[in-house]
Amino acid sequence: NDAMFEVVLGQGRLMVLKEDLVKENNEKKKAQSLIAVGNPDILDFELVGPRQIRLIGKQIGITDMVIMTEDNQTLSYEVHVVYDLNLLQARIRELFPDAQIRLAQLGRKLVLEGQARSASQMRQISDLVQKEILNEAVSGTGGQGTGA
């Protein structure tokens, strides 16, 4: 792979290439380039300009994406669609300011580590995380809609 990057579930990420995907040839016809995603259930895309591709995370997971330009240049990427941990971490801090909890993603699973005031508070935090993640998985929007 040429690179690996992350896309947040339900959000868009703009990818800008160094050269145009489509160029006009001598006969003023546009040649076609190729964009292929290994698992379209995980990642979707749309062309938004001659060098811009908008990637949309549809489902948690890892897939590959290959871009072949009309000049037969091939670019290969590994794309990880991930949860929005920053948003979830902020929500935990807002609701449980006395807890010191960190989140990490391992594949499709989340790991909570740190200290809470009590076992009861830790269960509440765990329940909140499960509820938020379930809402993200069902809506596919991370609670924010799609944005670039």
Max avg pLDDT among 28-32, 48-52, 64-68: 64-68
Name the least confident of 66-70, 75-79, 112-116, 117-121. Answer: 66-70
* Whole-number pLDDT of residue 53: 94
* Whole-number pLDDT of residue 63: 96
Angle at 86 between CA 46 and CA 18, to 5 degrees: 35
Identify whether the C-beta of residue 133 lies closer than 8 Å to the C-beta of residue 83.
yes
Question: The tokens of 7 are what?
Answer: 């896309």
Residues 92-138: tens digit of each pLDDT: 999 999 999 999 998 888 899 999 999 999 999 999 998 888 777 66
Q: What is the mean pLDDT of residues 9-25?
A: 83
Identify whether the C-beta of residue 10 lies closer than 8 Å to the C-beta of residue 135.
no
Identify whether the C-beta of residue 32 lies closer than 8 Å to the C-beta of residue 70.
yes
pTM comes to: 0.74
Q: What is the mean pLDDT of residues 62-90?
A: 91
* Whole-number pLDDT of residue 140: 52
